[in-house]
Amino acid sequence: MARVWNFSAGPAALPETVLRQAQAELLDWRGQGASVMELSHRGKPFMQLAAEIDRDIRELAAIPDDYAILFLQGGATQHFAQIPMNLAAEGDSADYLVSGHWSDKAAHEAAPYVNVRVVASSAGDDYRTLPEASDLDPRAAYLHYTPNETIHGVEFSDIPAAPEGVPLVADMSSDIFSQPLDVSRFGLVYAGAQKNLGPSGVVLMIIRRDLLDRATRPMANIFRYAGQAERDSMLNTPNTWGWYLAGLTVKWLLEQGGLAAIGERNRAKAELLYRTIDGSDGYYRNDVDVAARSRMNVRFNLHDAALDALFLQESEAAGMIGLKGHRVLGGMRASLYNAVPLDAVEALVAFMRDFAQRHG
Q: Helix 258-278 to helix 44-61 angle, to the nearest 10 degrees? A: 60
Please say whether the beta carbons of 131 and 122 come within 8 A.
yes
Determine which one of 102, 241, 243, 252 is catalytic: 102
Catalytic residue flag (residue 195): yes
Pairing of strands 143-145, 115-121: unpaired
Q: Helix 44-61 to helix 240-255 angle, to the nearest 10 degrees? A: 40
Catalytic residue flag (residue 171): yes
Q: What is the DSSP letter of 293?
A: B
Give bridge partners of residue 206 from the DSSP assignment: 69, 189
Phi then psi for 188, rounded to 5 degrees? -155, 130
Catalytic residue flag (residue 44): no
Beta strands in 216-272 (DSSP E): none
**Spatial distance between the Cα atoms of 194 and 198, rounded to a whole number of angstroms:** 5
Determine which one of 29, 56, 195, 252 is catalytic: 195
How far does the chain reach from its first CA to its final CA, in angstroms?
32
Question: Which of 36, 78, 89, 93 lies closest to 222 in space, CA to CA?
Answer: 78
Half-sphere exposure of 106 (CA within 13 A, CB side): 32
Question: Which of 168, 161, 122, 163 lies closest to 143 in space, CA to CA?
Answer: 168
Pairing of strands 203-208, 332-335: unpaired
Determine which one of 171, 175, 251, 324 is catalytic: 171
Residues in CB range of 19: below 8 A, 6 or more apart: none
**Spatial distance between the Cα atoms of 267 and 270, rounded to a whole number of angstroms:** 5
Give the residue numbers annotated as catalytic, written as ranges. 102, 171, 195
